[in-house]
Structure 1
Amino acid sequence: MSTSDTLHVRVRRAIAAGDLSPAAFDEIALDLARFQADSVPPFGKLCKARGVDLTKASVADVPALPTDAFRYARIASHPETEDVRVFRTSGTTRGELRGQHPFRTLETYEAAALAWAMPCLFPGLRPERAIALVPDPSVVDDSSLSFMVQLFIDRLGMSATFALSLERGVDVAAVERAAEEARRAGSPTMVLSTAFGLALLLDAIGDRRLQLPERSRVMVTGGFKGRTREIPSAELYARTAQALGIAERDIVGEYGMTELSSQLYEPRLAEDPPSAPGTYRPPPWLRVEAADPETLRVLPRGSEGIARFVDLANVDSVGFVQTLDWVSVDERGDVRLFGRAPGAEPRGCSLALEDLFGDRSHRGPAA
């Protein structure tokens, strides 16, 4: 069994167990870092440039790869011929230069997605129908979000209506038909959408109400990056609840990204009263810390900084990922998301990219 296969098995066992002690997490994370430094050239180069000895380092010492690296290089431990799927970022703010996340196997990704969605999205509920305001994965096969939505639909056996296309926007008539069919059948329905997809639907229906059956829920993800308008989360949740005839607490935010294999969710269904929108809980196999934007060093809990992720499910890419999202992390590990880092690209991320690619003008597209 290869090192990659062994790590996949260890991570899936940790996911199935549903809990990880800090020591157990650190052990897998450091083994992952050593494997990836040897097998993923950009990550190995970053570790060397930062002078990190992975035989002695702690998890906090391991440098995190900026998400922009996924745009400029192939971030994978395996050759392209072994790819079973490549997820790509939307590219809304950088033209055609899109980040790429190759996968040699999807088994660990699927295990992670399902294991955390069940208690966060579906506690006490097995919805029979889904309305998906995301692109159909049969048409857009490189979207990690569409893949995840289809995974939920397949594993829960939901009948599904995909009602959003990149060219035509939301198919309001299809949503209305699906809602009417769900009402007639009395079938709890799961709406799976981006924030922008919900905004388009709300604009299209105006003051009309698409009453969903009791116990229906909504998962909403993403923001309005690159869009001409933005709706605050509290307003979006209130308008969605009114339009669909559901309680606001039954709207749950998801926080994920192409460069990760794990997702975070607002713990609204687990708390009474539900937490305000914008606070997300990671699964046990994902650690989130706020990092100093200048040095990229991990900050004490409660501090604000840019989000650093250690995702054990990222076996064949890089498990240590640095983003530009501005967050704070409390003692429990819950993440408060404030948006993107203010101002220009943080100096720490810029320097990390220079360690990898030199002068920014010499970077090429992802290979």
Structure 2
Amino acid sequence: MALSYVDPAVDRLCADIAALASGDPGDAGDVEARLIELAAANFPAITGFWRRTRPGTGVPDVVYKTAPPFLFDDAHRARTFRTSSTTGRVAGEVTYSERGLRLMDVSIVAGARHAVFAGLDRPVVVRLVPSAAAAPHMVMAYGMELIARTFGDPVLSTCALGPDGFVWPALRLSLDSAIAEERPVVLMGGTSAMANLCRALIENGEVRQLPAGSRAVDAGGAKSRSGAVATDELRALLDQAFGLGGGTHLNLFGMTELASQLYDSADVALGPRGERPKAGHAMVRARVRHPDDLSPRECGAGLLDVADLCVIDRPYAVLTGDWAVAGEHGVAVTGRVDRTSARGCSLVLDGITGGGRIDA
């Protein structure tokens, strides 16, 4: 029997998820079991897929481009984000209820506090993504604006990417003011945008030495449609443009279908382009699955599957359509699966979903 959005069991589940995401002790295994039960009750088509794989296996991301699941017919649809469609296929949609959006906010803030802002007091946050108002369907714009509002200096922080490219007056003012006041700067944005900014500053002779404690966080990396920027290449650019040396750069992995993000966990090259491993925590974990049968792999390459306990409006795990490598320190995301060729992983992903459908 399907559970209503206002069912007391859903109330308790949301409260337990929020508490776990905020750092309170709890039973993540119990929460995951209840999320599996919720998905099976409210999205019965998933049961056939899980019979052929195993309960909790991520829903292939192609589903969000054909028949996006939403578990609560009686819930107000508070916000819809669109996927980036980096593979060239039609973009997908992901809808959030008000509760789902609140849980995502809690998770984004908790993850950023731990991975990025530890030891910083109101740094200058410079976002190399559009504002949430300018890009209302872009989850990266929403998340990074939330981060800047929560942790950044309210006066000097800025959004430095507009519809016509970099907003140079705002960018220069924010950076130069931070340098004058010796305030740490946190650069956040897409990988390609960050690399392009560094190149422009270097070419124009506008390199700067950012204050101690400054750091850069990029998102995208291997998902870039215009060609991935190798990790060490980006780090060299950041060092040349901003004086950001070792230990000042993090890459994050996020998806529109997920509420949480995975951050670099160790400064050890694991992927072929220097991609660093990402480790999970109580609320989110990355797994690598064999491309033939989707069995878990403790080491080596395969398909990336992410389980996110902060997802309440749809099945909580996603088979992402990315290649990944599992190692001692976590999982490195190494690139998108090529679905233009009817071979290997392409057949697996589309075959198990009937070309985008989950069949009971």
TM-score > 0.5, shorter chain as reference: yes
Rounded Cα–Cα distance in structure 1 between residues aligned with 2:350 and 2:296: 17
Compared with structure 1, are the counterparts of its residues 74 and 179 closer, same or farther at alpha carbon in structure 2 (3 Å cutoff)?
Answer: same
Which of 32, 35, 38 is the aligned partner of 2:35? 32
Question: What is the CA deviation profile of residues 105-133 of structure 1, one whole-angstrom value per residue up to 9, with x for unaligned ones?
Answer: 22211111111211211121124311110
Which letter maps to 1:349?
L
Residues 136-285 of structure 1: pairs in structure 2 closer than 5 A: 136-159=131-154, 160-165=157-162, 167-207=163-203, 208=205, 209-223=207-221, 225=223, 227-267=225-265, 274-276=267-269, 277-285=275-283
Residues 1-367 of structure 1: pairs in structure 2 closer than 5 A: 2=7, 3-17=9-23, 24-40=27-43, 44-51=44-51, 60-79=54-73, 82-94=76-88, 97-104=90-97, 105=99, 106-159=101-154, 160-165=157-162, 167-207=163-203, 208=205, 209-223=207-221, 225=223, 227-267=225-265, 274-276=267-269, 277-299=275-297, 301-330=298-327, 334-341=330-337, 344=341, 345-354=345-354, 357=357
Which letter maps to 2:121?
R
Q: Which residue of 1 aligns with 2:272?
A: none
Compared with structure 1, are the counterparts of its residues 93 and 288 closer, same or farther at alpha carbon in structure 2 (3 Å cutoff)?
Answer: closer
Any stretches of 5+ residues in structure 2 without a counterpart?
Answer: 1-5, 270-274
Rounded Cα–Cα distance in structure 1 between residues aligned with 2:106 and 2:283: 11
Measured after TM superposition, the shift of residue 291 of structure 1 is: 0.8
Rounded Cα–Cα distance in structure 2 between residues aligned with 1:224 and 1:63: 23
Question: What is the CA deviation profile of residues 86-145 of structure 1, one whole-angstrom value per residue up to 9, with x for unaligned ones?
Answer: 1211234436x2221111122211111111211211121124311110011111112111
Rounded Cα–Cα distance in structure 2 between residues aligned with 1:256 and 1:62: 19
Which letter maps to 1:292?
H
Which stretch of the first structure deviates more once superposed, 221-230 or 114-123? 221-230
Question: What is the CA deviation profile of residues 323-362 of structure 1, one whole-angstrom value per residue up to 9, with x for unaligned ones?
Answer: 1211133456x21222223674533211222076389xxx
Q: CA RMSD in A?
A: 2.5
Q: TM-score, normalising length from structure 1? A: 0.84
Secondary structure (helix, strand or coil) at the match of 2:304 reads: strand
Compared with structure 1, are the counterparts of its residues 80 and 117 closer, same or farther at alpha carbon in structure 2 (3 Å cutoff)?
Answer: same
Rounded Cα–Cα distance in structure 2 between residues aligned with 1:290 and 1:11: 24
Compared with structure 1, are the counterparts of its residues 229 and 16 closer, same or farther at alpha carbon in structure 2 (3 Å cutoff)?
Answer: closer
Which letter maps to 1:89?
T
Q: Which residue of 2 aligns with 1:365?
A: none
What's the % identity of the aligned pairs?
Answer: 22
Rounded Cα–Cα distance in structure 2 between residues aligned with 1:124 and 1:244: 20
Rounded Cα–Cα distance in structure 2 between residues aligned with 1:80 and 1:234: 48
Q: Which residue of 2 aligns with 1:364?
A: none
4+ runs of 1 displaced by more than 6 Å?
none
Question: What is the CA deviation profile of residues 282-331 of structure 1, one whole-angstrom value per residue up to 9, with x for unaligned ones?
Answer: 222112211111222222x1132101111111111111210121113345
Q: TM-score, normalising length from structure 2? A: 0.85
Question: What is the CA deviation profile of residues 49-71 of structure 1, one whole-angstrom value per residue up to 9, with x for unaligned ones?
Answer: 5537xxxx9xx543421011111
Residues matched between the structures, number: 338
Rounded Cα–Cα distance in structure 1 between residues aligned with 2:123 and 2:32: 38
Is the 8 Å Cα contact of residues 144 and 258 (structure 1) preserved in structure 2? yes
Secondary structure (helix, strand or coil) at the match of 1:179 reads: helix
Compared with structure 1, are the counterparts of its residues 356 and 149 closer, same or farther at alpha carbon in structure 2 (3 Å cutoff)?
Answer: closer
Is the 8 Å Cα contact of residues 284 and 309 (structure 2) preserved in structure 1? yes
Secondary structure (helix, strand or coil) at the match of 1:76 reads: coil
Secondary structure (helix, strand or coil) at the match of 2:221 reads: coil
Rounded Cα–Cα distance in structure 2 between residues aligned with 1:178 and 1:124: 21
Question: What is the CA deviation profile of residues 25-51 of structure 1, one whole-angstrom value per residue up to 9, with x for unaligned ones?
Answer: 3322121111112213xxx21322553
